[in-house]
Structure 1
Amino acid sequence: MREILFRGKRVDNGEWVEGYYVCKSKDSHTSQHFIIQNFRSGSNLDGLVEFEVIPETVCQYTNFNDENGKIYEGDIINVLQDRLMKVRWDFEELTWKLFDVGIPVGEINLYYNTIDLANLYLETCYENQMISEVVGNIYDNPELLKVDKEKLKQITSRWYYG
């Protein structure tokens, strides 16, 4: 069964929380965004606790994991040990995709500059050809989005010319 989870950064302290996403309208012009978690209290009763989160940081769980934990939308993954790619939902193909970091969206050649996350996951699990690991995310590690243009040129020339 697919686990539908989200994470977001708390408004009060900036820490990441994971759970279920809820948007509540305060009035006709404003809304608050929350991540709701289950918890077990000392009396063994189940309960809920909600944390207000920064809406721009809300990311959905992809249902894929690396060796360190869950992979979320907005994560940056190191593929083949020299290719940084960010996780995004592809609305055209309705699947999670990895997009090369440092290439503007308008310049993306979908054949060379994207990888289907499910295919990467299967290749990594069964054939060990693709090495991937979450190395950060677009919110906590924006410096990873700035790629050395010379290194990117070398990597992309391998894709086009083998």
Structure 2
Amino acid sequence: MYYTGEEGDIHFYFDSSGIVAERFKDIQIAVEDRLEDDVHVEKLEHLQYMEFTGLKDKNGKEIYEGDIIALPYKRTFPELGLQNHTVIFKNGYFSCSDYNTYASEVIGNIYENPELLNIK
């Protein structure tokens, strides 16, 4: 699993709201004049779950759902430069229009670089 944000002992699980990320912390609490170990759960709302697609870009960088990749328009129109595409999971598989392992390059993701989605 891949996540954005800080690293640590993080646990992912599914509930009715979707994927939840939590960090478990060992703490000590006072019980009848003695200290006992307990576990505190911290919800990590700022993390985004991003599933690995099993694909890599031209530089060998892993491609995750939500990544934005730059692709040449078509081999027949190289003068048009690059076009940005978002990797999505739909109907049981990962999709990105015109994906080409040898030409694609991960340039960001929809969570950390939303401005890349507005390039024309």
State the TM-score, normalizing by the size of structure 2.
0.58
SS of 1:143's equivalent? helix
Segments of structure 2 that go 5 or more residues without pairing to the other structure are: 24-41, 73-80
Task: Please state how far the C-alpha of 1:147 moved relative to its aligned partner.
Answer: 2.3
Q: Distance between the aligned counterparts of 1:144 and 1:95, measured in 2?
A: 23
Q: Is the 8 A contact 1:8 1:55 kept in 2?
A: no
How many residues matched? 92
Q: Is the 8 A contact 1:138 1:145 kept in 2?
A: yes
1:140 is aligned to 112
> Letter of the aligned partner of 1:89 in structure 2?
F
Q: Is the 8 A contact 1:77 1:133 kept in 2?
A: yes
2:61 is aligned to 69
- Residue 142 and residue 24 in structure 1: after superposition, are their counterparts in 2 closer, same or farther (change >3 A)? closer
Q: Looking at both structures, which has the greater relative contact order when contacts are Cα pairs under 8 Å and sequence separation is at least 6?
A: 2
1:156 is aligned to none
Q: Is the 8 A contact 1:24 1:33 kept in 2?
A: no
- Residue 60 and residue 52 in structure 1: after superposition, are their counterparts in 2 closer, same or farther (change >3 A)? farther
Q: Which has the higher strand share?
A: 2
Task: Please state how far the C-alpha of 1:135 moved relative to its aligned partner.
Answer: 0.4
Q: Distance between the aligned counterparts of 2:11 and 2:88, measured in 1?
A: 18
SS of 1:139's equivalent? coil
State the TM-score, normalizing by the size of structure 1.
0.45
> Is 1:8 the counterpart of 2:14 in the alignment?
no
> Letter of the aligned partner of 1:137 in structure 2?
N
Q: Distance between the aligned counterparts of 1:135 and 1:79, measured in 2?
A: 10
Larger radius of gyration, structure 1 or 2? 2
> Letter of the aligned partner of 1:69 in structure 2?
K
Runs of 4+ in 1 over 4 A off after TM superposition: none
> Is 1:22 the counterpart of 2:17 in the alignment?
no
5 Å-filtered alignment, 1:99-118, equals: 114-115=97-98, 117=99
2:70 is aligned to 78
> Letter of the aligned partner of 2:93 in structure 1?
T
- Residue 145 and residue 55 in structure 1: after superposition, are their counterparts in 2 closer, same or farther (change >3 A)? same
